[in-house]
Amino acid sequence: MKSRIWVAVASIVSIVALFTAISATAGEKEEKMSLDKVPAAVKAAIEKATISGKIKEIVKKQHDGKAIYDVDYVKDGNKIEMAVAEDGTIVKTEEKTSIKKVPAVVKAAIEKATNGGKVKKIKKEQHGEKVVYDVDYVKDGKKMEMEVAEDGTIVKTEEKTNIKKVPAVVKAAIEKATIGGKVKKIEKEQHDGKVIYSVDYVIGGEKKDIKVDEDGKVVASDKKGGDK
């Protein structure tokens, strides 16, 4: 009898240890932190960028084995998000803006593209030295998105579509690739003059996506994880 009890206790201890290990691993991927706990180089970068502002949250995340510190803060009345690498390099910033605050050439490009529609949101994004304006808008009843460079060039557009509206060769490729599964979303993307159809679908309980070009060729595919 005692031996059975000890076996049961040992099993419970093992299960608890397993869940503790899993929780610890998950904690390493995303962890809220305070300014005094981040590395010195990261702290210096954050303090310089947020001077005269207010830090709302710092979250440490692991990406491809590297730590990135996501910082949410408010400065001059603007909500800003920033990503800082371990060496203190600011790799990305995002902040909401408006049509009145963007450069004149960007404003002209946005107004021309969204003529007859309605702008819903504009975000200014900076990746290193490169600045783009991400614009969400509705036109002809469709939700659309575009990226505009500082010189007013539209570098990318996205719009939701469906299997009935894509070209025949694209439709055939999607149906073949997703056979036995269920298509959840199709987006038509245009970048540097090239059109790509990005497809999210579920098969066998797994979320997946593929990218199909105008000729019906599958140019990329990826597994995204379990369906929920």
pLDDT for position 142: 87
Over the stretch 94-129, which tens digit does the pLDDT of each residue have? 999 999 999 999 999 999 999 999 999 999 999 888
The CATH class for the domain spanning 30-93 reads alpha beta
pLDDT value of residue 117: 94
Tell me which CATH code domain 162-226 carries: 3.30.505.20
Distance separating alpha carbons of residues 199 and 25, to the nearest angstrom: 31
36: DSSP letter: G
Please indicate whether residue 27 or residue 160 has the higher confidence score (pLDDT): 160
Instruction: Give the model's pLDDT for residue 224.
Output: 59
Question: What is the arithmetic mean of pLDDT over 149-158?
Answer: 94
Whether this prediction's pTM lies above 0.75 is answered by no
Average pLDDT over residues 200-219: 93
Q: Could you tell me which residue, 25 or 147, shows the higher pLDDT?
A: 147
- The yes-or-no verdict on residue 223 having pLDDT over 90 is no
CA distance 109 to 48: 33
- Write out pLDDT tens, residues 193-207: 899 999 999 999 999
Q: Residue 137 has what pLDDT?
A: 96
Angle (nearest 5°) at CA 11 between 8 and 12: 90
- Identify the pLDDT of residue 11: 45
Q: Would you list the domain boundaries of the chain?
A: 30-93, 98-157, 162-226
132-152, pLDDT tens digit by residue?
A: 999 999 998 888 999 999 999
Instruction: Please provide the average confidence, as pLDDT, over all residues in the chain.
Output: 86
* Topology agreement, domain 30-93 and domain 98-157: yes
| CATH class given for the domain over 98-157 | alpha beta
The arithmetic mean of pLDDT across residues 183-192, rounded, is 92
Distance CA 61, CA 67 (A): 6
Residue-wise pLDDT tens digits, 79-92: 999 999 999 999 99
